[in-house]
Amino acid sequence: MNHSASSAVRDRSRSWADNAVRLIEADARRSADTHLLRYPLPSSWSHDCDLALYLKDESTHITGSLKHRLARSLFLYALCNGWICEGTTVIEASSGSTAVSEAYFASMLGLPFIAVMPASTSATKVALIESQGGRCHFVTESAQVYAEAQRLAEQTGGHYLDQFTNAERATDWRGNNNIAESIFDQMTRETHPVPDWIVVGAGTGGTSATIGRYLRYRRHPTRLCVVDPENSAFYPSYLHDDPGVVTGKSSRIEGIGRPRVEPSFLPGVVDRMVVVPDAASVAAAHHVSRVLGRRVGPSTGTNLWGAFGLLAEMRSQGRSGSVVTLLADGGERYAETYFRAEWLTSHGLDPSEPAEVLVEFERSGCWP
């Protein structure tokens, strides 16, 4: 190729990328920010302390979960790094919400999208990805998804978005309306505008990394608590300061908990970690769904269980203040799983005991 021909090709690819970035920005501009809901606390508490709990409702994104933010950031990151061009096949290792959101952005840009997922992935998820024009590629073991996504990218000359590595890099942690900036902005007129705690789970670890960095950057005294389900490598790794922990077991709480410590999980910005039993996460998801009058996903149950514990601790110390956590996704996607008794039984999950704890908490304000 002579010099002018190659620069014509470069001009064409720059103008394609310019337009792709514009399309993503235009979509963001047409979209509204997510709500910060107030969650009702036990009424008996109002006599002796002034506490408030808020839920950042990430289920109202166009693609239904907090992964909408991540997918947008990963596409912008790849475009601005020159990794995605016209016709590039985009590949991701994901069995869940990330692939649903990425399929949306791939379709917006007219790019082929392949989600690499375990064969056990629910038909509902597969249908959601395919309805946005994505393709699902199955592997037998969940640990195989990373290598298989990499292999497909090499074979197709495509790009592996790699959420578990790039989540913490692709998000603008200083601001740019990231989730932390949005929370602090929405809190400004509240009685306790600077929360004592923000509680989140970790899947990629990207959300906790963004919030933890933002707290330091803005010099907020707010502390970050990460709640972790059973079988996850994040908690033992945090406890023993060992990034090499591998549990080899899959989490039963969709979206959070990983069998290995993902590169996007940054333990240095986490002030406390709490392990939440899986049955308690499910019980809390059911409980909160009743309180709000609409279903929430299981990781939101994990978040609430952690937040209730912290609020009870603040109350026992006679402190006033606020706690913020996330409603990560709605419960519609889980009607056949976490909201079905037979499915719970077959997965060894019995939420009846923790459900009693929650009823007692609501009634008396007592937390075990």
Ligand X SMILES: *Cc1c(COP(=O)(O)O)cnc(C)c1O
Write out the residues near ligand X by the rule CB under 6 A: 65-67, 96-97, 167, 201-207, 255-256, 297, 299, 328-329
Looking at the Cβ atoms of 258 and 287, the one nearer to ligand X is: 258
Phi, psi (5° rounding) for residue 226?
Answer: -105, 125
CA–CA separation, 119 and 126 (whole Å):
10
Cα Rg for the chain, rounded, in angstroms? 21
Smallest distance, ligand X to C-beta of residue 166, A: 11
Smallest distance, ligand X to C-beta of residue 56, A: 12
Looking at the Cβ atoms of 106 and 328, the one nearer to ligand X is: 328
Determine the residue with CB nearest ligand X: 255
Phi, psi (5° rounding) for residue 51?
Answer: -120, 150
Smallest distance, ligand X to C-beta of residue 276, A: 13
User: Do 362 and 304 contact (CB within 8 A), yes or no?
Assistant: no
Q: Which residue has the tokens 């990499």?
A: 150
Inter-axis angle of helices 352-364 and 298-316, nearest 10: 40
CA distances from 112 to 13, 88, 89, 132 (A): 17, 7, 5, 11
Looking at the Cβ atoms of 321 and 339, the one nearer to ligand X is: 339
Looking at the Cβ atoms of 300 and 322, the one nearer to ligand X is: 300
CA distances from 33 to 30, 66, 170, 185 (A): 10, 12, 19, 11
User: Per the structure block, which two tokens stand in for 81?
Assistant: 């790094």
Smallest distance, ligand X to C-beta of residue 320, A: 29
Looking at the Cβ atoms of 212 and 365, the one nearer to ligand X is: 212
Smallest distance, ligand X to C-beta of residue 57, A: 12
User: Per the structure block, which two tokens stand in for 323?
Assistant: 């706690």
User: Per the structure block, which two tokens stand in for 312?
Assistant: 């009870």
User: Per the structure block, which two tokens stand in for 343?
Assistant: 């499915």
Looking at the Cβ atoms of 78 and 296, the one nearer to ligand X is: 296
Smallest distance, ligand X to C-beta of residue 217, A: 18
